[in-house]
A and B are shown apart, each in its own frame.
Chain A
Amino acid sequence: VTRRLRLWSALFALVCVVVSAVALEVTDEPLEFDKVHGVIGQPVDVNGVLVTVLDVTAGQTLADYSGDPLVRTPGLFVAVDLQITCPGPKDNPAGRVRLHAGERTYQEWQGYAGVGAKAGYQSVSRLLFEIDPADLGSLVLETNKVEIISGYQAHAWIDLQLAGAADRMRAEAADRAVQQKSSSEEPIS
């Protein structure tokens, strides 16, 4: 009986350790961030700052600020016009923007440009991405404030809702140029 008890005790202890290790591993990961969902054309309130995707255009050619062709891609250039409205009282200085399509993440074509607005102002920035044309219909824009020290942050997660228009946009893209644009900022009206 003692030998059997020892065997069962050892087995029980082992099961306890394994179950405990798995339970801790599963629950110990902190939450990544809070997704604040929205759709194109509708403002998304992220901690008092309104983020709105105004328009999306796509083309195989990228034109510079004056409209001259700059580069052509076998994929697609996508331009997203993003408006940031910052009622205050604090400025909303810098934000990072990315595009997601399923498991894929696209960074800005020009590297990190950043979007933001001063308190009492609204800004509009054109953000450029080079993507696989197959991903056009499932694009979601993510933007969040860049903080060196951060807690559980809120990220705007805006569905560009291009599934219905994707085929048409791809067909038109061969002859279309996407133009670079400077950011603008003006007081909130």
Chain B
Amino acid sequence: MKPFEVIWADLRALVSDTVRVWWRLLPQLLTLQIGGWLGYQITLWIAAAVSTRNGWIALGIFSLGFVFTLGSIVLMLRLVGRELGIRTLIPRSDDESDDGRDTSISRLLALTLLPFLGIYAAFNYVSQRAEELNVRSLLQTGVLGETTLLGQLNPTSSRRTLVIVICVVAGAYIVRRVLDLLHARTQWQWLGVATATVEAFFLLVLILSGQRLLYSLRAGLLDRELFSWLDQFVQSMAGFFRLFRIDLPAVLALVGRFLRDIAWPAVLDVMVEPVAWLAVAALVYGSHVLSLADLWRKGEPLASQVPIPRRLRRLRDRKVGSTGVRRIALAFQEAFLGDIDDKYLPTLQSIRLIIRSGLTFLGAYVLIYTAIRVLNNLIDVVSSLLAGGHQVDFWVPYGSFFDLLGFLPTESLRICLLAVAFHRCLLLFKARAADVDTAVLPADVVARAPAEVRS
């Protein structure tokens, strides 16, 4: 295939399949989306009302909002995945264990909410939502009120608050791990959902309380000592560079500005975020899907699960032969570090696979993903212009409805794109496998497969 044909094939397939599946599933997608949005709005409203009395309870209620938001995303991905036949695309091996995500919604949520929460935190969505709660709370307490939400959670305000914050953070982490272990032992699915809620609470406390500690740390240590040390270092080096007529501080400032204002946002917003979302979306369709795709890529026989990470495998091997205190210590280690293995390593595995799906595919995917975000921005602008300028007492009750105008079409389109992109990713991997039946693959995918596959 010629280069332009490959590029055009990826762009056309992603756009046409996304729009087609979006249009076909629009009523169901909108229902799920509105359900998630309503759940979030109600928890936000209750949390803001409660925040004047008790900030901790408000955060607990608000954590449920994340379950509604992320739950609706997971269910929408599942719906689109079914329509595209992602799971049926993959032959199952006989020894493959069924993790229940296809038959039980609660099981699916239990398995996928934590990585979704992880991506929400990584790209500042949790911070944005926390800010939303803070603003709503401030409108009730007044900016100078004594019971503002941030005031109640500020660990630098008194020693008592500091102790409470430490206890809540430690307690939330322990409760979360205990729930996680209970979930693994009992297989009672709603414990998985409860785990995600506690995790959301934990993250909210870290963000809302921890930022005050960070400010103090920055003001005390970074802004004064570290930066003055760095400044002295740069000034001492500047004399040497002046011999070559180079203004080192100016050059460093220029490079720093470029990295901070242009390069870093471009890399994070434009490249990392879409790829990370695609990787996490892939988890909805099961970790064995990822390992199968990986194996297709390598052209090896099928296996059913992502290999257990080496560290955890070592830990489990050691635990078999150990007794007493050592066994307890190993169980403790597994309980507290197992999170990374269970929830986040499949995500990393997923990212690895998607990055290897080819530059053309990734370029086309990033471009269309951005186009959807741009569409959302434009709808936001148009809806603001239609609403006209208003004071804050108008925007608090009605602003969310105006946001909905852009959110409804673009979020459902984005979810469809994620599923379509992952589907195409699988097709591209499958085409590279030596023993695959090319009759089931689209012509453009077969055309770019290795020669031995096409023959």
Contact = CB atoms under 8 A, between A and B. Distances in A.
Interface in A20-45: 20-21, 23-25, 27-28, 30-31, 33-34, 36
Contacts of B378: 27
Interface stretch (A63-71, A80-88, A146-154, A174-182): A146-154
Report whether over half of chain B's contact residues are helix, strand or loop; otherwise say mixed.
Answer: helix
**Most chain A CB within a 10 A radius of its CB, from B4, B135, B388, B399:** B388
A15 B363 contact: yes
A152 B360 contact: no
A17 B6 contact: no
Contacts of A36: 389
B181 interface: no
A174 to B, nearest CB: 40
Nearest to B136: A149
A109 interface: no
B360 A33 contact: no
Interface residues of A, number: 39
B270 interface: yes
B374 A27 contact: yes
Interface in A108-159: 145, 147-155
Which of A6, A34, A149 has the most chain B CB within a 10 Å cutoff?
A149
Given A27-B374, A28-B377, A151-B394, A17 B389 contact: no
Interface in B376-418: 377-378, 380-381, 384-385, 387-395, 399
A171 interface: no
Contacts of B3: 4-5, 7-9, 12
A163 interface: no
Contacts, number: 112
Nearest to B269: A24
B417 to A, nearest CB: 14
Given A20-B367, A24-B269, A149-B138, 7 more contacts: A4-B3, A9-B360, A21-B266, A31-B385, A34-B389, A90-B393, A153-B389
7 tightest Cβ-Cβ pairs between the two chains A and B: A34-B389, A154-B389, A151-B395, A8-B3, A13-B363, A20-B370, A16-B363
Interface of B: 1, 3-4, 6-7, 135, 138-139, 143, 265-266, 269-271, 358-360, 362-364, 366-367, 369-371, 373-374, 377-378, 380-381, 384-385, 387-395, 399
16 contacts: A5-B6, A7-B3, A9-B360, A9-B363, A17-B270, A20-B270, A24-B373, A24-B374, A30-B384, A31-B385, A34-B388, A145-B391, A149-B138, A150-B391, A151-B392, A154-B388
